[in-house]
């Protein structure tokens, strides 16, 4: 049977049996709607959690936490923090699946910070500032256009000074107390994490009557300028050098930045660590960020780090990945059960259809139609019913997702990392939904199709007469 003739038969049966076919396709629509809705919800939540909150394409390795004396220990002179040698960084770079290794250098001195009056209306600050340093290559693609270079601005400073009044613009006099004179330097570029911005915008800013700062950081080229008092904080003073003030400017928001604190160019932290804590604090890294080509390579990196006595700083990304995958699998199983039940309903509908059309099928056979033609007729009809039901299910899922987003926007509080939508509808999801709907419909119609192909023309026509 040629395709045009098959199409004519299918269209005719769609009109003749539209009531029964629509009823059988309802189950396919319901199952597909549930499947698309749950998968889109899982993909959307996963994208937020593993993209913004817990990036899964990187792992940060550090020495065991039990060996770290902590900030208070450093202030009280309890010993130096453990570090990672450059040789260990080179070893990690050679690990299969690794596409980049970026060392980090944590503050080895106490610090505090204050500023932001220009953007917030009044100065805000913290009596304990945590920070670290990273290489510029790690954030090369994240800095906004027009942002100053993410490096040590002191390397570009040439004008000598004794006080900040000797400098122009936003420059300040970078001068250690022991030096006879300093140099006029631009503020140190600083990155903050998306997590910190979200916490400030959704929790701290409303409590203190401050405006959200997220848009300010991203959109305003001048950034937030503040001062850091290095070498002294609420807990005490560093023992290596006299405290002094350093000016800093927030140049962007980065997922590579430390969650609660500030991230500076590693050369700046290396210089300050050497000044306040000695050469050892400037040469041994506090941790390394390892970027992998695929999330599956993370386990290999963790195993390699274990042989070097390094452990993951945060395993939440891996835990969230496993959890979301499990939840998505469970919800998909529920949807699949609905589709299986729908397939049995389609099987019943098509058994009745073949029984009612037995004489017609016998006539087609008597006129030259083959068994393959009859099977193709029934299966093509089932494929159309399944695809149409799946298309209706996709529409229902999209409407349900829009309704859920509207309810969430109106009734859920404004929490950190709250997305504009909780759903993600990639193109492949639509294709997969249509294919699944058609597949389950065909699966239900296989037995009736075989039965239709085995109708005996002579017996069926004799019984009809």
The predicted-structure confidence for 135-150, as pLDDT tens digits, reads as follows 888 887 777 777 788 9
* Cβ 128 vs Cβ 331: under 8 Å: no
Nearest-CA neighbor of 375 among 286, 429, 426, 448? 448
Mean pLDDT of 106-126: 78
- Same domain membership, residue 296 and residue 166: yes
Indicate if the pLDDT at residue 46 is higher than 60.
Answer: yes
Quote the pLDDT of residue 266. 94
Indicate if the pLDDT at residue 251 is higher than 90.
Answer: no
- Same domain membership, residue 166 and residue 272: yes
What sign has the CA pseudo-torsion 133, 135, 141, 147?
positive
Q: What is the DSSP letter of 211?
A: P
- Same domain membership, residue 230 and residue 140: yes
- Same domain membership, residue 126 and residue 182: yes
Quote the pLDDT of residue 218. 47
Quote the pLDDT of residue 151. 92
- Same domain membership, residue 325 and residue 420: yes
| Highest mean pLDDT: which range of 51-65, 237-251, 262-276 | 262-276
- Same domain membership, residue 132 and residue 12: no
In whole angstroms, give the CA distance from residue 460 to residue 355.
10
Indicate if the pLDDT at residue 220 is higher than 70.
Answer: no
Q: Kindly tell me the burial class for residue 100, based on how many C-beta atoms sit within 10 Å of its own C-beta (0-12, 13-18, 19 or more).
A: middle
In whole angstroms, give the CA distance from residue 58 to residue 221.
29
Tell if the pTM clears 0.75, that is, is over it.
Answer: no
Indicate if the pLDDT at residue 261 is higher than 50.
Answer: yes
- What does each C-alpha distance from 465 to 98, 197, 355, 428, 451 come to in angstroms? 77, 82, 16, 52, 21
Quick: pLDDT tens for 84-108.
Answer: 888 888 888 888 888 888 899 999 8
Query: Kind and range of the H or E element at 342?
Result: helix 316-356
- Same domain membership, residue 228 and residue 365: no
Provide the residue range defining the domain that includes 20. Answer: 3-52+321-464
- Same domain membership, residue 235 and residue 108: yes
- Same domain membership, residue 271 and residue 184: yes
* Cβ 177 vs Cβ 186: under 8 Å: no
- Same domain membership, residue 341 and residue 276: no
DSSP letter string over 397-447? HHHHHHHHHHHHHHHS---TT--S-S----HHHHHHHHHHHHHHHHHHHHH
Quote the pLDDT of residue 52. 58
Domain termination site, one of 286, 313, 340: 313
Mean pLDDT of 328-334: 77
Indicate if the pLDDT at residue 75 is higher than 60.
Answer: no
- Domain tally, the chain: 2
Place of tokens 């990690």: 92
Residue ranges of the alpha helices (H) in 357-426?
A: 358-366, 371-411
Question: What is the pairing mode between strands 58-62 and 98-106?
Answer: unpaired
Quick: pLDDT tens for 146-181.
Answer: 778 899 999 998 899 999 999 998 899 998 888 889
Domain termination site, one of 294, 313, 332: 313
Domain termination site, one of 292, 313, 334: 313
In whole angstroms, give the CA distance from residue 153 to residue 196.
25
Least confident of 41-45, 119-123, 336-340: 119-123
> Residue 274's CB: how many other CB atoms inside 10 A?
17
- Same domain membership, residue 441 and residue 349: yes
Quote the pLDDT of residue 169. 86
Indicate if the pLDDT at residue 122 is higher than 70.
Answer: no
What sign has the CA pseudo-torsion 86, 89, 94, 95?
positive
Quick: pLDDT tens for 440-463.
Answer: 888 888 887 787 777 666 565 555
Q: What is the DSSP letter of 84?
A: B
> Residue 275 in 3-state DSSP?
helix
| 253 vs 431, higher pLDDT | 431
Reading the block at residue 462, the tokens are 């004799």
| 255 vs 357, higher pLDDT | 255
Place of tokens 């396919």: 28
Q: What is the DSSP letter of 367?
A: T
In whole angstroms, give the CA distance from residue 358 to residue 30.
31
- Same domain membership, residue 446 and residue 412: yes
- What does each C-alpha distance from 100 to 72, 90, 141, 260, 315 come to in angstroms? 33, 10, 14, 24, 19
* Cβ 369 vs Cβ 455: under 8 Å: no
């Amino acid at each position: 049977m040629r395709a045009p003739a098959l199409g004519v038969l299918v269209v005719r049966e769609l009109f003749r049996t539209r009531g029964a076919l629509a009823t059988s396709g309802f189950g396919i629509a319901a199952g597909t709607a549930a499947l698309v809705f749950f998968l889109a919800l899982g993909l959307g939540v996963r994208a937020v959690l593993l993209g913004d909150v817990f990036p899964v394409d990187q792992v940060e390795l550090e020495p065991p936490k039990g060996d770290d004396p902590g900030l208070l220990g450093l202030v009280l002179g309890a010993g130096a923090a453990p570090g990672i040698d450059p040789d260990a960084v080179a070893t990690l770079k050679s690990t299969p699946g690794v596409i980049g290794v970026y060392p980090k250098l944590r503050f080895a001195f106490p610090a505090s910070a204050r500023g932001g009056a220009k953007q917030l209306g009044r100065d805000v600050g913290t009596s304990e500032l945590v920070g670290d340093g990273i290489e510029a290559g790690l954030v090369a693609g994240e800095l906004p256009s027009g942002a100053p270079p993410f490096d040590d601005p002191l390397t570009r400073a040439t004008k000598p000074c004794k006080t900040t009044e000797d400098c122009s613009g936003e420059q300040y006099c970078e001068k250690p107390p022991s030096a006879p004179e300093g140099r006029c330097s631009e503020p140190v570029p600083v990155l903050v994490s998306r997590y910190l911005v979200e916490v400030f915008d959704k929790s701290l800013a409303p409590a203190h009557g401050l405006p959200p700062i997220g848009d300010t950081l991203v959109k305003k080229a001048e950034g937030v300028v503040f001062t850091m008092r290095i070498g002294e904080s609420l807990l005490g003073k560093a023992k290596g050098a006299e405290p002094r003030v350093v000016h800093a400017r927030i140049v962007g928001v980065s997922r590579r930045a430390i969650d609660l604190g500030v991230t500076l160019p590693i050369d700046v932290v290396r210089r300050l660590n050497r000044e306040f804590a000695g050469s050892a604090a400037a040469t041994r890294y506090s941790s390394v960020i390892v970027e992998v080509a695929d999330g599956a390579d993370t386990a290999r990196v963790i195993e390699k780090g274990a042989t070097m006595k390094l452990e993951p700083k945060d395993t939440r990304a891996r835990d969230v990945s496993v959890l979301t995958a499990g939840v998505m699998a469970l919800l998909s199983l529920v949807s699949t059960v609905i589709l299986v039940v729908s397939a049995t309903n389609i099987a019943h509908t098509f058994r009745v259809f073949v029984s009612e059309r037995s004489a017609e099928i016998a006539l087609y056979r008597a006129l030259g139609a083959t068994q393959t033609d009859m099977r193709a007729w029934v299966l093509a009809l089932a494929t159309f019913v399944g695809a149409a039901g799946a298309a209706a299910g996709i529409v229902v899922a999209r409407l349900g997702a829009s309704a859920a987003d509207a309810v969430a926007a109106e009734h859920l509080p404004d929490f950190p990392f709250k997305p504009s939508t909780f759903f993600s509808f990639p193109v492949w999801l639509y294709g997969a939904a249509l294919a699944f709907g058609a597949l389950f419909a065909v699966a239900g119609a296989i037995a009736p199709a075989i039965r239709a192909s085995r109708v005996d023309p002579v017996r069926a026509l004799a019984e009809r007469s």
